[in-house]
Amino acid sequence: MVATNRKAHHLYHVIETYEAGMVLVGTEVKSLREGKVNLKDSYASVERGEMILHHMHISPYDAANRFNHDPTRKRKLLMHGTEIRRLLGKTVERGFTLIPLRVYFKGKVAKVELALAIGKKMFDRREDIKDREVQRELRRVLKERQH
């Protein structure tokens, strides 16, 4: 696991997840292996039949000089055409968003886990916080009973 989008589950209701490969240049792969990636505010969209990842920040590789990459460039994602068309239909019709949940290596290949998600309203977030506090309190009480 290289990086996770920790705020994703707080801000969105995750409906489905998909795995996609990423088209990267050499210095990006080296920075990824060092864990220098930020998924905050990044999202994916379909442009001209291709899946594109926007605003994912991969820091420039320290050992590279003038051949370094642009940290926030658009990156092409590799998915099957049927998956891309299906996701295009869902994002256009129903207002879903494609957000990256995590970036990881599968063997030598860099992958990103995309989530088909819908944004939470403020009251949904408050409910989640309340439920989490109730569960924490319940665990604490059960732990005290055991001792």
**Residue-wise pLDDT tens digits, 42-53:** 888 888 888 999
Element (H, E) at 19: strand 12-22
Q: What percent of the chain has pLDDT over 90?
A: 10
Residue 5 has pLDDT above 90, yes or no: no
Q: Is 127 helix (H, G, I), strand (E, B) or coil?
A: helix
Domain ranges of the chain: 3-120
CATH architecture for residues 3-120: Beta Barrel (2.40)
Tens of pLDDT, residues 85-137: 888 888 887 778 899 998 898 888 889 999 988 887 777 778 888 888 889 98
Residue 51's CB is within 10 A of a number of other CB atoms, namely 24
First vs last C-alpha separation in the chain: 37
Question: Is 56 or 10 the better-scoring residue by pLDDT?
Answer: 56
Burial class, 108, CB count within 10 angstroms (exposed 0-12 / middle 13-18 / buried 19+):
exposed
Q: Provide mean pLDDT across the span 23-33.
A: 84
- pTM, two decimals, is 0.75
